[in-house]
Amino acid sequence: MKVNRVSHHMNLFRMLPPTVDDFDTTIVRIEKSEMEKMGICEGDTVKITGTKSSGAVCYAMEDDFKLPNDSDVTYLSDNPTILPPIRVGMFVAQNINRFSSGLIPVRVEKVCEGTRHATKVCLMSLNSGSNNECFEKNNLENLIVCKNDRLRFMDSKPEKNFGYMITCVEPEDYSQITKDTAIAFVEINPDVLSSYFASPKLEKLQSVIPIVYQETLNNVDVTIPSLEIFDTGIRFFIYIKSNFKQHQSIHNGSTSVVVTLEDDVGTLFELSSHGGGGSSSQEGFEYKYEFSSKQLPSDSKHLTITLNEILIQERFPREDPNFAMSRKPMRGTKFEYAKIDKFPSFLIISGPWKTTVQLNKGNN
C-alpha cells in the first residue's frame, strides 16, 4: 500500500491519547523533527484546532514514540494520508473535539515563544450545585486557557468533581494561569451556557440551495442533497453508505465523520452536529448526519463542504469494570485512564469528498 505523509507546512496532525502524566493538563507533545520543521521549541504556546480551538504548551517526544495501549489503526483508503502524531492532554482534547472520535486530525499553530502570564481568569460553574469555596485553585496552575474553554475536574469522589466554563482571560487568550493569576468565580448565566452548548436555533427559512452532490470514493457513497439558509444560521445533511468487503474486523462500532465548512475567503465555520442516525454491521454501514452553523456567511460568495474522513472506533468491552458507567476514557479520572490496557481499534477511511455551493444572495 502506498502511504503519503502530509507535508509539515499544512500543520496537520493525528490526535492520539496522552501519557498518564499529561492526562489532566493542557500539554501537547509532537515529535522532535516536526517541532523543528515548524520552528516550535519546548515550552512554546500553541493553538490547537479540531472542531474548535484551544491552547496548549508544546513539548517534544521522540520520533516514532508509541505507547503500549495505543489503538491499532487500519486505513481502508486506496492511498491513505498518514498524519504525524500529536499527544493531547485531557483539557485540550475536551475543548477541541466536540463530536468526533478520538483520533481526529488537528491543526497546530505557534502562538508565542514560551508562555505568557494570565493576570485574571473568570470561571462560571457548569453545575449549580457546586461549592466554589471547596475548589482548590492550585488545580488551575500551569493551564493554558481561552475564553469559552471548559475545564472538567474528575475525581473518584463525586464531591470533588468540578466543571467550569472560562468566561474571560486577561490580558488575552492562550495565556497561562500561574499562582499570581487572579481567579474570579462569576454568577451562573443560563443564557451564556445555553448559547455556547446548544445548537443554533434555526428560524425563518430563507432559501434551499440544491447541491445534489454524489461521489463514491474508497468504497464509500457520499450524498449531500442541499444547503438550507435561515435567518439565524445554515444547515446541511450528509449521507454515507459503504460495504466493508474484505475488512470486517470492526462492526457495530462508533462511526463519526470529520467535516469542515469554509467560505471563499478562507473562513472556517464552527459546526454543530445533531440529529441523524443509522446503523452498521459486519457488512458495512449507512448513516445520515445533520450539521448547522450559528455563523452566517454575510460576505461569502460560496461555501465549500468537505467530508475529510470517516472514523470507525471499536467499543470498549462492556465487561471492563473501569467503564461500567459507559464513560468515555477521556471523561474519566486519571486513575481510570492509567488502567486502560488497550484503546479500541480504529478504521479510518480518507476522503476528501468535497463540494462547493454558490450562494444565492438575492434569493430570500
- Taking CB atoms within 8 Å and a gap of at least 24, the contacts of 35-42 are 35/60, 37/8, 38/8, 38/11, 38/108, 38/110, 39/110, 40/108, 40/110, 41/113
Q: What DSSP assignment string belongs to 213-230?
A: EEEEETTEEEEEEEEEEE
Which residues in the chain show pLDDT less than 70? 1-10, 99-101, 129-130, 195-199, 244-252, 275, 297, 317-331, 361-364
Residue at a domain's end among 151, 181, 197: 197
- C-alpha pair distances (Å), 240 with each of 214, 221, 243, 287: 10, 6, 11, 5
- What pLDDT, in 10s, does the model give residues 84-101? 999 999 999 989 987 666
Assess if residue 340 is contained within a domain: no
Q: Would you state the pLDDT for residue 324? A: 46
Comparing CA positions, the residue from 143, 128, 198, 210 lying closest to residue 174 is 143
Number of independent structural domains in the chain: 3
Report the CATH number at residue 11. Answer: 2.40.40.20
Q: State how far the Cα of 255 lies from the Cα of 101, in Å rounded to an integer.
A: 8
Residue at a domain's end among 58, 90, 115: 115
214 and 353 within one domain: yes
- What pLDDT, in 10s, does the model give residues 316-336? 765 555 544 444 555 578 888
- What pLDDT, in 10s, does the model give residues 122-133? 999 987 766 777
109 and 19 within one domain: yes
Residue at a domain's end among 152, 179, 197: 197
Range of the domain at 291: 205-316+347-358
351 and 233 within one domain: yes
Assess if residue 338 is contained within a domain: no
98 and 148 within one domain: no
Assess if residue 328 is contained within a domain: no
- C-alpha pair distances (Å), 320 with each of 72, 83, 254: 19, 30, 17
Q: Work out the percent of the chain whose per-residue pLDDT is above 70.
A: 85
Assess if residue 18 is contained within a domain: yes
Q: Would you state the pLDDT for residue 331? A: 52
Q: Would you state the pLDDT for residue 160? A: 76
Assess if residue 324 is contained within a domain: no
Report the CATH number at residue 140. Answer: 3.10.330.10
**Cβ atoms of residues 112 and 44 within 8 Å:** yes
216 and 351 within one domain: yes
